[in-house]
Amino acid sequence: MGEPGKTKFQIDLRRYLREQEEDRNLTRLICEIADASKYIVNSIRTGDLGVAGTSNLYGEDQLALDVLSDRILRKRLLHSGVVANIVSEETSDIIPISTDCAGKYSVAFDPLDGSSLVDVNLAVGTIVSIYEGCELLQPGRNQVAAMYILYGPRTTLVFSTGSGVHEFGMNQLMEYTLLRENIRMEPRGSIYSPGGQRNLYSPGTESFVRHLEGNGAKLRYSGGFVPDINQILMKGKGLFMYPHLQGSPNGKLRVLYELNPMAYLIEQAGGAASTGRGRILDLEPKQIDDRAPVFIGCREDVAMAEEFIRTQG
Ligand code: AHG
Ligand code: MN
Ligand code: MN
């Protein structure tokens, strides 16, 4: 594994995927998305459209970063040669790239989650869900890979292809090299990340939060799904929730390109992800913008949330 003399932790993403003997087209796809993130991180840092790498953007009025990020990723996926269909938070429909499904992948992505946080210099991220073939409206348990890129003080990329969760960091040459392999979560946590308005929580959710607070859990919430999940995954001890609320029974987060990829990653690290009444990855999405409530993180904390909701609603 790796070149002699070269420690495993200088290994770059492409070599790592090759040594895991990943499917060549899946390796190509993951590396294309990793490459696209270089342009996204530059646009976030400098707001300089020139680095977007696409001529038709050059010199145009400043594009909203999420639209720019969407166009950077879409262009990459379009020319990758390994993609059948895509859907993004910024598109209203599924975009067909190729009708030939064999050996190809379909991708649901949030090009820039938490984009409104850039103005206050908080961390944001790109979230990606990957299926084999042409179908995107299928349960998240069928994903073959999921990943996110976190644009924080450091730029990191976290992915799984079903054999554990691994973290890569972007170095000065803008290459991604291995930081952590096979990240695992504890059975229960010590931080909680409560999204949504507390005064709209159901009785079960309210009792659950009071239980966590009674046990000394600390509140950690940035308003960015990617950094909030990343903190729980990397510390291995915590739970994020964006629950059902009075007036919004399905919470806020979208199943296809926010909940399914994060649920896949957290489960691969030994955690759990639930709507409060059932596994996120077993949801049967009906539309590309389906939403669901979410409790995600340490498996015993998620089980406890489900119990409070089962008994108190
Ligand atoms: P997006 O910016 O892609 O619309 O997603 C924002 C989401 C997610 O990042 C975060 O968990 C949630 O919005 C925060 O919602 P509140 O501002 O209601 O807490
Ligand atoms: Mn989002
Ligand atoms: Mn977004």
**Atom of ligand 1 at shortest range from CA of 226:** 9
The separation between the first and the last C-alpha atoms of the chain, rounded to the nearest angstrom, is: 50
Ligand 1: residue whose CA is nearest its atom 6: 114
Give the per-residue pLDDT at 4.
Answer: 61
User: Residue 49: pLDDT above 70?
Assistant: no
Ligand 1: residue whose CA is nearest its atom 17: 223
User: Residue 10: pLDDT above 90?
Assistant: no
User: Residue 5: pLDDT above 50?
Assistant: yes
C-alpha 33/C-alpha 149 separation (Å) is 9
Supply φ then ψ for residue 86, to 5 degrees.
Answer: -135, 155
Give the per-residue pLDDT at 66.
Answer: 87
Distance 109 CA to ligand 3 centre (A): 9
User: Residue 57: pLDDT above 50?
Assistant: no
User: Residue 58: pLDDT above 50?
Assistant: no
Q: What is the mean pLDDT of residues 218-234?
A: 98
Ligand 1: residue whose CA is nearest its atom 3: 113
Quote the radius of gyration of the chain (alpha carbons, Å): 19
Q: What is the mean pLDDT of residues 140-155?
A: 98
pLDDT-wise least confident of 55-64, 120-129, 213-222: 55-64
Give the per-residue pLDDT at 3.
Answer: 59
**Atom of ligand 1 at shortest range from CA of 253:** 7
Distance 66 CA to ligand 2 centre (A): 10
Sequence-distant (≥ 6) Cβ neighbours of residue 34 within 8 angstroms: 13, 149, 157, 168, 176
Q: What is the mean pLDDT of residues 139-160?
A: 98
Q: What is the mean pLDDT of residues 239-251?
A: 98
CATH 3.40.190.80 fits 191-312, yes or no: yes
pLDDT-wise least confident of 52-61, 117-126, 132-141, 204-213: 52-61
Nearest bound ligand to CA 254?
A: 2
Supply φ then ψ for residue 252, to 5 degrees.
Answer: -130, -30
Give the per-residue pLDDT at 52.
Answer: 42
Distance 131 CA to ligand 1 centre (A): 24
Nearest bound ligand to CA 89?
A: 3
User: Residue 1: pLDDT above 80?
Assistant: no
Helix residue ranges per DSSP H, the chain: 13-19, 24-46, 65-80, 203-214, 225-235, 260-268, 299-312
Percentage with pLDDT > 70 across the chain: 92
Task: Provide the residue ranges of all domains of the chain, joining segments of one domain with +.
Answer: 8-180, 191-312
Supply φ then ψ for residue 285, to 5 degrees.
Answer: -65, 135
User: Residue 185: pLDDT above 80?
Assistant: yes
Q: What is the pTM of this model?
A: 0.94
Distance 115 CA to ligand 1 centre (A): 9
Q: Architecture of domain 8-180 in CATH? A: 2-Layer Sandwich (3.30)
More confident residue, 39 or 64: 39
What element of type H or E holds 179?
strand 176-180
User: Residue 279: pLDDT above 80?
Assistant: yes
Confidence of residue 46 (pLDDT cuts 50, 70, 90): confident
pLDDT digits (tens, 9 = 90+) for 110-142: 999 998 899 899 999 999 999 999 999 999 999
User: Residue 56: pLDDT above 90?
Assistant: no
Percentage with pLDDT > 90 across the chain: 87
Distance 114 CA to ligand 2 centre (A): 6
Angle separating helix axes 225-235 and 260-268, nearest 10 degrees:
10
Give the per-residue pLDDT at 162.
Answer: 98
Q: Which amino acid is at 51?
A: V
Ligand 1: residue whose CA is nearest its atom 12: 223
**Atom of ligand 1 at shortest range from CA of 223:** 14
According to DSSP, the β-strands at 166-170 and 155-160 are antiparallel
Distance 254 CA to ligand 2 centre (A): 7
**Atom of ligand 1 at shortest range from CA of 113:** 3
pLDDT-wise least confident of 8-12, 17-21, 92-96, 185-189: 8-12
